[in-house]
Amino acid sequence: MFLAIDAGNSNVVFALYDRRENRWKNQFRLETNFETLGIQLSKKVPLYFLEHGIGPQDISQIGYSSVVPEINKIITDFCVNFLGKKPYLISAKSYSKLPVKTSRPQEMGTDLMCNVMAGFKRFQRPVIIVDFGTALTFTVINENGEVLGVNIVPGIKTAIKSLFSNTSKLPEVALKVPESAIGKNTIHAIQAGIFYGYSSLIKGMLETISQEAKLEFKVIATGGLSAVLTPLEKIFDEVDRNLTLEGLRLITEANT
């Protein structure tokens, strides 16, 4: 099995790809917390492996993407000590062997580059990848696999948390799309503002990018909240929560 580790600002995702069945099978996540991550790794990962009948010997290769450099040594040491293998850490040096290119490799987050790799390989044509994470990102790729640019907006959870943290009377609300865009009470008002507001933002952003680039794009949504915005179902050509993981696997294999 191939083990993908994707360290983001909110969570560290572990996912196993069965090379015999050619599919992602097991996935779990830990909170990205520098102070507690070592303890989480030593307790929760071995327990998860044990519960699912997975042994360190079943892991043939490890690929690691991280936008949180502070935890890289913790993750690497754990892989070496528990799994007996050093993970391949994706970096700007990894991109030269890929069929996709970015003009700013040092600035391009490895998670976004994983999206680019998987998305372009899937369609082989202009693609916009909308990633619903801590930040909401739009990554734009042309027909040659070249990254034209990236747009970054605060993510949905980030927006809700900011609203809750910076006001004295507004509550933190559940991630639920309300039936009406017109709020009838405080909770409904926040949900309507966030979800219908973000839906309009995404539609407008995709239209503006297409008009400026003068290209017809395929649109892929990924990330933990990619399936939440049901009003956007017809806007996306595909929703794939494993897109980053698939790109992580492809980049690792291209470099090792």
CA atoms of 49 and 211, how far apart (whole Å): 48
Beta bridge partners of 149: 140
- Among 6, 58, 77, 111, the active-site one is 111
The total number of residues shown for the chain amounts to 256
- Side chain identity at residue 165, one-letter code: S
Cβ-proximal residues to 83 (8 Å cutoff; 6+ apart), any chain: 3, 56, 59, 62
Supply the DSSP symbol for 137.
E
Note if 111 is an active site residue: yes
User: How far out from the chain centre does Cα 183 lie?
Assistant: 31
Give 29's strand partners: 13
Contacts of 124 (CB under 8 A, 6+ apart): none
Q: SS3 for 216?
A: coil
Contact assessment for residue 183 and residue 191, using Cβ atoms and an 8 Å cutoff: yes
Q: Residue with structure tokens 């008009």? A: 211
Query: CB within 8 A of 152, min separation 6: which ones?
Result: 135, 136, 137
Q: Catalytic residues, which ones?
A: 111
